[in-house]
Amino acid sequence: MKISVKVPATTANLGPGFDCMGMALPIYNVITIEETVLPGSGIEINVISTSGELDDVALEHIPLDENSLVYKAVELLYNSIGQTPSELKISIKTSIPVARGLGSSASVVIGSLIAANELLGRPADEAALLSIACEIEGHPDNIVPAYCGGVAISSQEDDGSIVYRKLQWPSDWAVTVCVPDFELSTDIARSVLPKEVPMEDAVFNSSRFGMLIHAICTKDKELMKLSLKDKLHQPYRMKLIPGLNKIMDNLRHIDSVLGCVISGAGSSVLVISEKNDLDEIKNIVSDTWLSQNIKCDIKTLNVENEGAKIISNDE
């Protein structure tokens, strides 16, 4: 039996929603798991990149052994029903850029969990799959939209369960994803964050996050312009993304821009805007990065409203 699952990329945080907000994007990884016929052959993991040379380098950093996220996800699922995984062939066809803050790890975790769950006859429900995925990822912001699509706010409760709600993204707001040619690992991007933050910064973020949700639900662009601001993670990560301060400054005078934030833990940058002036926005970002010798790939994308789905199930 062979199961393939297609999982969207995600962007997390959207400024003030650190670790609790994410959005699915129409770039996909496909994770395929099949039972091998040879007993004792163990677990074999292969990665095939479909996103070009830049990522071939990044892919070399993906562990293919017991340390891989795929292996951990599959193992936790099997363990949850009192089994251990064996004799599986897993392949990952990646189009989501690696280590760029676009949820590539969440996509492989969700994809391998759904595929393995299907192989096992679906012992785990959505709640169990999301809890296992969150145990691996550490926060639910990428895994929830990877699983269910759309824009979602989420939390992990004390018992490990994930609570989430989806929001309707205003159709006349554009999401421009700017992917630079350098990687930034989530571990590094989290290591620069402080263990404690000043109370006024926490208050700043809770007000902005509340306003962000209201702005999205009511399509209030003036409120959105005030909402896409953060003091919990972005100020600390600025130094890891050369040129970002300048990009933010240079975009400020464009009226249609609602905000510019780090995508997830970086290195990509997200520009939220109205749908006019998109070429000017792209030129500003690419020229600013180019002035620092950074090349980039920029695309305006729609929110992907569909989450992970099984695309083939060969008996």
Binding site for ligand HSE (CB under 6 A): 12-13, 18-19, 139, 141-142, 186, 189-190, 233, 264-265
2-24 burial, b at 16+ Cβ within 10 Å, e below that, comes to: ebbbbbbbbbbbbbbbbbbbbbb
Nearer to ligand HSE, 268 or 273 (CB): 268
Nearer to ligand HSE, 142 or 288 (CB): 142
Cβ proximity of 90 and 32 under 8 Å: yes
**Residue 156 pairs with which residues in a beta bridge?**
162
d(CA 47, CA 86): 19
Q: What are phi and psi of 9, to 5 degrees?
A: -70, 165
Q: How far is the CB of 153 from ligand HSE (least distance, A)?
A: 13
Nearer to ligand HSE, 85 or 180 (CB): 180
Helical pair 278-290 and 244-251, crossing angle rounded to 10 deg: 150
Nearer to ligand HSE, 16 or 85 (CB): 16
d(CA 47, CA 74): 16
Nearer to ligand HSE, 4 or 267 (CB): 267
Nearer to ligand HSE, 12 or 27 (CB): 12
Q: How far is the CB of 263 from ligand HSE (least distance, A)?
A: 9
Q: How far is the CB of 118 from ligand HSE (least distance, A)?
A: 25
CA angle 137, 289, 181 (to 5 degrees): 45
Q: How far is the CB of 72 from ligand HSE (least distance, A)?
A: 15
Nearer to ligand HSE, 17 or 85 (CB): 17
**Residue 310 pairs with which residues in a beta bridge?**
5
Bridge-based pairing state of the strands 43-49 and 151-156: unpaired
d(CA 174, CA 160): 34
Q: How far is the CB of 101 from ligand HSE (least distance, A)?
A: 6
**Residue 180 pairs with which residues in a beta bridge?**
296
Strand order in the sheet with 173-180: 257-262, 269-274, 173-180, 296-301
Q: How far is the CB of 194 from ligand HSE (least distance, A)?
A: 13
Integer CA distances (angstroms), 115 to 2, 195, 221, 285, in order? 9, 36, 40, 38
Nearer to ligand HSE, 2 or 236 (CB): 236
Q: How far is the CB of 22 from ligand HSE (least distance, A)?
A: 8
Task: Please give the residue whose beta carbon sits closest to ligand HSE in the complex.
Answer: 265
Q: How far is the CB of 143 from ligand HSE (least distance, A)?
A: 9
d(CA 242, CA 265): 14
